[in-house]
Amino acid sequence: MLEITVAILLTVITAATPLLLAAIGELVVERSGVLNLGVEGMMVMGAVAGFGAANLTGSGTLGILCAMLAGVVMALLFGFLVLTLVANQVATGLALTLLGLGLSGLLGESFVGQPGVRLPKLEIPGLSDLPVVGQLLFAQDILVYISFALTAAVAWFLFKSRAGLVLRAVGDNHGSAHALGYPVIAVRYAAVAFGGACAGLAGAYLSLAYTPQWVENMTAGRGWIALALVVFASWLPFRVMIGAYLFGAVTVLTFHVQALRGNLPPWLPEWVGGLTQTPSQFLSMLPYIATIVVLVLISMNRRTTLLNTPACLGRPFVPDR
């Protein structure tokens, strides 16, 4: 029983990490007043760039750096269109996703079926050998620890630093921020680039740690879940972490329920046996159904919807000339 529990918790961590990385970057982007719906496209470009660089060089570190670079390049393309050319943010974000999915398929065609480079586990002598806790907390790859550190760093940056206050001011009232002399466009470019780097990291985790291989469209909608997580968390970093692990748990439990089909342990209740007979296609839909249900519930409460929402989210800004 304990071994099964540990195995499930370990897979929850692997399922939640890419969601957390992508969502924490998008949170910063949206706090600056920019709505980037291209997270899926940036993630999949990070995945193919990370896998390709690691495959060609044998270095997971170079793979991570190239994945971040790919995410930043895609994000800056989005930034140029919506911040400099003042294109519609929703349409441009959707176009970025379509571009990323198509371009990644083209670039990754030669990598299909090739063995990948798996990121090593960072085991801490003594601590990694502890029962249960050692495996869960002290024997993970570097990107899991980076996701924790990024969450704490973003929370500190947004609510404890002057630069974070400026970024939130830009997102809440870009006109007033500009009148006070703050560089609204530059702040938003920096936020968009940071979001792209985080999305690239999330993609690198998928192709270097989660499943060290390249498969076309391997993000499988995780970018959209990351976008929903930001709203679910009311634009608060630690709530994003909680949401990522909740959605990761839903994803993992559907796989484990499918694995139990016809092999149900005697200690599980009978209703679980009925659940295992549910078609696998429906179980695979559960994470996305949960996303829709959560968003509907949040939208029903106007006060919750407006809580912490950047007032200028999605609104273009053209400085007075």
* Per-residue pLDDT, 278: 62
Going by the DSSP 8-state scheme, the letter that residue 207 receives in this structure is I
Q: Tell me the mean pLDDT in the region 73-99.
A: 97
Cβ contact 205:18 at 8 Å: yes
Give the pLDDT band (50/70/90) at residue 279: low
* Per-residue pLDDT, 59: 93
Q: What is the mean pLDDT of the chain?
A: 88
Answering whether pTM is above 0.85, one says yes
Comparing 142 with 275, the larger pLDDT belongs to 142
Counting other chains too, the contacts that 295-298 makes at CB distance below 8 Å and 24 or more residues apart are 295/228, 295/231, 295/232, 298/231, 298/232
Give the pLDDT band (50/70/90) at residue 144: very high
* Per-residue pLDDT, 49: 96
* Per-residue pLDDT, 121: 87
**Length of the chain in terms of residues written:** 321
d(CA 216, CA 212): 13
Question: Cα separations (Å) of 70 from 22, 45, 48, 67, 73?
Answer: 14, 6, 9, 5, 5
Q: What are phi and psi of 121, to 5 degrees?
A: -80, 135
* Per-residue pLDDT, 138: 82
Cβ contact 203:65 at 8 Å: no
What percent of the chain lies above the pLDDT cut of 90?
63
Give the pLDDT band (50/70/90) at residue 164: very high
Q: What angle do CA 293, 207, 238 make, to 5 degrees?
A: 45
Cβ contact 82:34 at 8 Å: yes
| Residue keyed to tokens 């090739």 | 114
Structure confidence by residue, pLDDT tens digits, 106-141: 999 989 888 888 998 887 777 777 777 888 888 899
Q: What are phi and psi of 141, to 5 degrees?
A: -80, 170
Would you say residue 104 has pLDDT above 70?
Answer: yes
Q: Tell me the mean pLDDT in the region 225-229.
A: 92
Q: Tell me the mean pLDDT in the region 224-236.
A: 91
**What is the C-alpha R_g of the chain?**
20
Structure confidence by residue, pLDDT tens digits, 304-314: 666 778 999 99
Structure confidence by residue, pLDDT tens digits, 169-183: 999 999 999 999 999
Cβ contact 21:202 at 8 Å: yes
What percent of the chain lies above the pLDDT cut of 70?
88
Cβ contact 190:183 at 8 Å: no
Nearest Cα neighbor of 224 from 192, 247, 246, 207 is 247
Domains of the chain, each with CATH number or no CATH: 2-306 (1.10.3470)
